[in-house]
Structure 1
């Protein structure tokens, strides 16, 4: 018996999509990655430093979305955000800091403050990816 694509997408809304996870808190990175996998996503990473993320971006692999911790061991993630934006890859930010820590050119990006509601964040990212131009 074939499964309806609608039902499949509802149960695994990120099925077939590759999501980059950049988070320097190990347990949070693991929780985010598990939530994304349970929604059907393939995970790129997780990585905890900008220098680890840039090779993933430049590897030529497809990325459909990303979750970026704003501050990675006192280094801001904005160079990665700039690359993702240039490639039209939807992404969201996570942070333990105030919204004022976001660079002005990224104030329009969906922001999830820690402690994160991971399920809501996954739903938000799913919607961003689904709404992107074809």
Structure 2
């Protein structure tokens, strides 16, 4: 077992082909993929409908919007997540300095290892 088997993971990615590929990788590793969803609104709705999530993979740029409201909602619920983005870490808001970043393009093994580490992450809850 590699730490991913059985995890319920939200996948937020707006690039259709990449979303399908990541969902396949996660599914092949035994994760239960929630989504993928491509918008902030759809992600927030899914978080409300499915409160029992183990983690999330968030693309930062979703078309003309950014994923930060989703990240804030996950922090508020204590759900660990990582950013999968081509952005440099320095461009992320300071409140997400502790969040792991899987830099695109990435190798499948690096992505798997980053996702497998999610359950052990300490989340800073919003007061």
* CA-to-aligned-CA distance 1:29-73 (integer Å, 9 cap, x gap): 111111111110001000111011011000144110100001110
Number of the residue aligned with 1:100: 90
What is the aligned length? 122
- Residue 95 (structure 1) shift: 1.3
Which SS does the other structure have where 1:112 is aligned?
A: strand
Structure 2 CA distance for aligned equivalents of residues 58 and 119 of structure 1: 31
Pair 1:47-2:31 in alignment: no
CA distance change for structure 1 residues 132 and 92 in 2, over 3 Å: closer, same or farther? Answer: closer
- Residue 128 (structure 1) shift: 2.2
Which SS does the other structure have where 2:14 is aligned?
A: coil
Q: Kindly indicate whether structure 1 or structure 2 has the higher relative contact order, using CA contacts under 8 Å at least 6 residues apart.
A: 2
TM-score using structure 2 length:
0.88
Pair 1:112-2:97 in alignment: no
Which SS does the other structure have where 2:117 is aligned?
A: helix
Matching residue within 22, 32, 46 for 2:12? 22
Question: Does the aligned pair in 2 maintain the 1:92–1:112 contact within 8 Å?
Answer: yes
Matching residue within 32, 55, 69 for 1:79? 69
Unaligned runs of 5+ residues in structure 1 are 1-8
Structure 1 CA distance for aligned equivalents of residues 23 and 109 of structure 2: 11
TM-score using structure 1 length:
0.84
Question: Does the aligned pair in 2 maintain the 1:21–1:43 contact within 8 Å?
Answer: yes
Moved more, 74-83 or 113-122: 113-122
| Structure whose CA Rg is larger | 1
